[in-house]
Amino acid sequence: MADEGIFIGTGGGQPQILNLKRANRHGLIAGATGTGKTVTLQGIVEGFSAVGVPTFVADVKGDLSGLCMAGSATSKTHEIFAARAAEIGQTDWAYKDNPVQFWDLFGEQGHPIRTTVSEMGPLLLARLMDLNEVQEGVLTIAFHVADKDGLLLLDLDDLQAMLVSCGNRAEELTLTYGNISKQSVGTIQRSLLQLRSQGGDHFFGEPALDLEDFIKCDDSGRGIVNILAADKLMASPKLYSTFLLWLLSELFETLPEIGDPDKPRLCFFFDEAHLLFNDAPKALVEKIEQVVRLIRSKGVGVYFITQNPIDIPDTVAGQLGNRVQHKLNAFTPRDQAAVKSAAETFRANPKIDVTTAITELKVGEALVSLLQPDGAPSPVERTLIKAPASRVGPATPQERAVMIQTDAIGTKYDTLIDRESAEEILASKQAEAAAAAAAQSAQAEADKQAAIAAKEQARQQVIIDREAARQAREAERAAAAKAREDAKPSFAEKMVESAARSAATSVGRKIAGQLGGQLLRGLLGGLFKGR
């Protein structure tokens, strides 16, 4: 390592130095499988750590975990590396370890890394769940409504509850935000289930990652090497790529502007970089390009590691000033196009036929072009890459466990915190609404039963009143009958009356007889007198 930068190797009889003041201008390490990309990456990370620059490394195959252990003279690569160090004049080469912090989205091989659903945002989540524009629009509405209603979206349960709420309020929300179809909500819910099946629910929650825990040095001033265990994560490529992009975006939004510092504040190394761009929509590629282009001024360098340089979109590749190109095969038309494309990206060197050299490089050799102090790329040189000082190969599970238990992070992220958020609040509101509805239903039922009872009581009263009226009429008729009965003469009275009538009749007849006799005698007497 030279004073002004990181020693990469020797090419053209000169040391190839990665200038620290230009290290935040990003870089590319490319080459076919087995050509030495990992060793190159390991050596550069060691160099950054030695000068006090923290790094983040995505460990796809698991072998970069060896950065935490010093190499060994008994390893099978010792003779090769010792010979290489001697060949390139690396007189200070010696085995040593690096300060390492292990991370793992699943919390199995390192400290858990979590973020909240709100911090991830609808754009990256839509990418993660492979949503179309309509579904992404519905997801964005759910985020907006949650923000307006003061509901925290921390984990996938919160997002799921929020989507259910928006679906139930679709008619109300459509008038304000646009159409919310139950079909779109259902599709997003199914995508959430798929995300859970890939382990995505481990990534969302609290405590969320504090980015300052990435940007640290140890007691001796060496930059911390943050290693993300990505071997299992690679089985979920969308989660892997979305996580890396989220991490860059968070750094971009969080870190202050510092221009071009004397050395980077942090450097990222993204292995299997093509996963960031495979099937990515245009909007997402533009987002990556924006972050890569602007994060330089935050003092962050981004280095992509990939097998084929044409995996990186031109808009992003144009931002990568420091380049290390290992051997490429030219067996297929696509390989040949990659060779031609890679050759055209280097500053020409009349001593080297780049197109031919790319296909002839040995393991541990690379074509190197680095930014010079004035910002111009150096002419490409065929370079023998320096030997690493740390172990080439993975750390054992026991060694990894010791590093996890003794690093500065401690147990800060180990225990999941589940505080009140959208799910709990919406569930509480739903329970209150259900209780209110139940109370209203119970009151309505009570009112119904009371009405039925009142109606029955009225009916019974009518029956009682009718019966009372009937009985009154019966009593009245009985009284009238009794009165009539009472008005009738008794038997004795009838006998007296009868006797009286009989006597009267007899007297009358007698009187009448007497009167009649007298009248008859008078008439006859008068008649005879007249004669």
- Residue indicated by tokens 């031609």: 340
| 225/56 Cα distance (integer angstroms) | 6
Each residue's pLDDT expressed in tens, for the chain with a length of 531 residues: 445 799 999 999 999 999 999 999 999 999 999 999 999 999 999 999 999 999 999 998 889 999 999 999 999 999 999 999 999 988 889 999 999 999 999 999 999 999 999 999 998 898 888 898 999 999 999 999 999 999 999 999 999 999 999 999 998 888 888 889 989 999 999 999 988 888 888 889 999 999 999 999 999 999 999 999 998 888 888 788 888 888 888 988 899 999 889 999 999 998 888 887 877 777 778 888 888 889 999 999 999 999 988 889 988 999 999 999 999 998 888 888 889 988 888 999 999 999 999 999 999 999 999 999 999 999 999 999 999 999 999 999 999 999 999 999 999 999 999 899 999 999 998 888 888 888 888 999 999 999 999 999 999 999 999 999 999 999 988 888 888 887 876 677 777 777 777 766 766 667 666 766 676 666 666 666 655
Element (H, E) at 503: helix 491-530
> pLDDT value at position 233?
86
For position 274, what pLDDT does the model report? 84
Encode burial over 203-233: b for 16+ CB neighbours within 10 A, e otherwise: bbbbebbeeebbbbebeeebbbbbbbbbeeb
Cα torsion at 43, 48, 54, 56 (round to 10°)? -30
The tokens of 239 are what? Answer: 């989660």
Q: How far apart are CA 203 and CA 219, in angstroms?
A: 30
User: What is the separation, in whole angstroms, between the first and last Cα of the chain?
Assistant: 203
Regarding beta strands 300-306 and 322-325, do their DSSP bridges make them parallel or antiparallel, or are they unpaired?
unpaired
CA 26, CA 284: separation in Å to the nearest integer?
19
Burial state string for 121-154 with b = 16 or more CB within 10 A and e = fewer than 16: bbbbbbbbbebeeebbbbbbbbbebbeeeebbbb
pLDDT of the residue at 495? 76
pLDDT at 96: 95
Q: Is the pTM of this model over 0.85?
A: no
CB contact at 8 A, 14 and 25: no
Whole-angstrom distance, CA of residue 139 vs CA of residue 159: 9
Quick one: pLDDT at residue 287? Answer: 81
How many Cα atoms within 13 Å fall on the side-chain side of residue 199? 19
pLDDT score for 323: 96
**Is 5:263 a contact under the CB 8 Å cutoff?**
no
From 229, 236, 224, select the one nearest 62 (Cα to Cα): 229
Contact between residue 117 and residue 155 where contact means Cβ atoms under 8 Å apart: yes
Per-residue pLDDT at 24:
93
* Contact present, 304 and 323 (Cβ < 8 Å): no
- List Cβ neighbours of 363 (8 Å cut-off, separation of 6 or more): 34, 35, 36, 327
DSSP string, 169-192: THHHHHHHH----HHHHHHHHHHH
> DSSP string spanning 27-76?
EEEE--TTSSHHHHHHHHHHHHHHTT--EEEEESSSGGGGGGSB--TTST
Report the Cα 409 to chain-centroid distance in Å. 26
CA nearest neighbour of 321 among 46, 32, 18, 45: 18
Strand partners, 225: 55, 100
Task: Please check whether residue 23 is in contact with residue 301, taking contact to mean a CB–CB distance below 8 angstroms.
Answer: yes
Residue with tokens 């290290």: 23
